[in-house]
Structure 1
């Protein structure tokens, strides 16, 4: 909920609210609601209890706005990116990741380093790089090819 008492709800959760509300008003059975929501009957009855206790806000995900359980610590990211900026700014993500682990003991996945380098602007994926322009040059003359031979 925000300061004014409004709740942010996704379309999936809105559909869930409508179905659970129908169960509370006895317009729909728990069995049919479970089929429509693709949940078991026990889970639907738990949702009904949460709806009766807290209203529509009870059906909204409690994890919304919270950081992921798998998120790496902010200080680790800051330390790794400081080392990359200072020593390995011209390296690719894979080599930078190997050097961080080998020389500094900072063990990260190469895809994590790739994402962090891309977000920091230290690395641009190949597909997003501008194409390299090459100077065109004339073909070399081959044996037997001269200007006089072509005219005949």
Structure 2
């Protein structure tokens, strides 16, 4: 999904939709709906609009979509106060699960003997998710370092 489609989805998925989100980002619901509609030529969402919508909706999908389009994996920096041995063990379990998801997606891609673009996209998404978890483990360990 591209960032414009994602921005549209984020605004409409907000509890109460555009009517509820619009006053929080300083515009009318009609203007917000127009700005997030990728098919509207009269209004365009600015970068600052996207930032405000993302922050107010507390939804990072636009940021994730942009990172993915640019070939990056987005890693949320953990709260250093929450760096504990138990948190590391929990993240290791998540790493094993995401590693398994990568393997499953690769097997699914190869089972018919053809590799399609959309299948590669799904494998790549699983790999990015796995990388995020691994980088999060490293960041938490760094936060625990004395």
User: What TM-score range do you get, normalising by the shorter chain?
Assistant: under 0.3
TM-score by length of 1: 0.21
TM-score by length of 2: 0.21
The structure carrying a bigger helix percent of its residues is 2
| Larger-Rg structure | 1
User: Taking CA–CA contacts closer than 8 Å with sequence separation of 6 or more, which of the two structures ends up with the larger relative contact order?
Assistant: 2
